[in-house]
Homo-oligomer: A and B are copies of this chain.
Amino acid sequence: MANYTHILVAVDFSGSASKVLAKAREIAERNNAKLSLLHIVEYLPPIDSAYEPILASNWSIDEEKLVEQANESLHKISAEHGLTDANLKVVLGTPKYEISQFVKTNQCDLVVLGSHGRHGISLLLGSTANAVLHDMPCDILAVKVNK
């Protein structure tokens, strides 16, 4: 039976990220698989009481800056785990959608994520468990982490 060849880790920089990364690294080494680390910058514009985006002239967030900072954090955490060969990627969006898109585009065969946290499986699933699972074309490993 084929081993895993391309493993995607959803990294959220929470306290549990190290545990998830260590587990993913172990599996990648054992399978001699390519490893990709993905962080999604969940940037939500403030909304008003009618749930419409506010377009206030005196308010602005530099999205590029957010992505740049996340990129630095991702490089740092991957270096700390000795993952010098890993493919690092930061995108702006929602974890549910971006993880699934990355898996499809890059033909990953395993997604490793924490059981909790902003990129954790419980958040990914939430009330749309079936939708996400149907949409994910590969295996999913939820690594147990403390809340």
Contact = CB atoms under 8 A, between A and B. Distances in A.
B30 A1 contact: no
A121 B133 contact: yes
A138 B129 contact: no
Given A23-B1, A129-B122, A139 B137 contact: no
Contacts of A121: 129, 133, 140
Tell me the number of copies of this protein: 2
A141 interface: yes
Interface string A104-147: 00000000000110000110011101100110111111111001
Contacts of A126: 129
Interface of A: 1, 3, 22-23, 26, 30, 115-116, 121-122, 125-127, 129-130, 133-134, 136-144, 147
14 contacts: A1-B26, A30-B30, A115-B139, A115-B140, A121-B129, A122-B130, A125-B129, A127-B127, A138-B144, A139-B141, A140-B141, A140-B142, A140-B144, A141-B141
